[in-house]
Amino acid sequence: MMISYLRIGFQVFLLNTCFLLNAQVGINTQNPQATLDVNGTARVTVLPVESTSNITVTGLTGGEQLNLTELGANIIFVNNEAVIRPVSRTTGQIDLGIITPDATNGNTRSIHVLDPQLGEGEANDLATFVTCVNYAGANYEIGGIKGGTEGRRLTLFFSDSSKNVSLMLESTTVPDASQRITFPVSKPFFGISGTGSIELVYDADAGADGAGRWLVLKVQG
């Protein structure tokens, strides 16, 4: 019986024998510096294609070693395609009528932090234009908005012509400062009287504390 040997780098392996060996393998190098050290190009002819939002990519460190690379909150995968958030592939909707207010004062209901479902896989993750509906029974005050990521744009359209909606600026009722709303001009709130919209963008470094804020860009209504 012929016994075959494979010599790679300084390591010698006995083929057709099952055993565990902790070693470094070098290809085109006599001095491997990693578990697998390839001095040259590499080729893979077949890679599986999967549709998932849980995808990581590889990159090279300064020492030319492969490592996992974080994509960041603004890059997401849709059907195996990398896209930059925000993208406006659809319009969204928020049903204010099913949200339990944090406080009620007469005909005004307060929502300390509005959740417009902007997170990955949620109802409005790819929407930049979101219509608020079903709030004919009351006026609303909104103190903060959940789901901000760097550069994320959001236009909230208020559809009821008979009710008013106010966005409170730097509201202390919002415990997480990164969910607060602000504007360069000192003002306690921005209001929509009847039908109208408020356009915002998220700045991850905004605020005196640097925690991030939703910045008001435009108010119509």
DSSP string for residues in 88-104: -SEEEEEEGGGSPPSEE
pLDDT of residue 45: 79
Tens digits of residue pLDDT in 40-82: 887 877 777 665 556 666 777 777 777 777 666 666 666 667 7
pLDDT of residue 1: 44
pLDDT, greater one: 105 or 136? 105
Any idea what the Cα angle at residue 212 is, between residues 211 and 217, rounded to 5°? 155
Strands 108-114 and 103-105 turn out to be antiparallel
pLDDT-based confidence at residue 124 (cuts at 50, 70, 90): very high
* Average pLDDT over every residue of 103-124: 92
pLDDT of residue 5: 42
pLDDT-based confidence at residue 26 (cuts at 50, 70, 90): confident
Mean pLDDT, all residues of the chain: 81
**Start-end of CATH 2.60.120 domains in the chain:** 90-220
91 pLDDT more than 50: yes
* pTM exceeds 0.75, yes or no: no
CATH topology classification for 90-220: Jelly Rolls (2.60.120)
Q: How many CB atoms lie within 10 A of CB 107?
A: 10
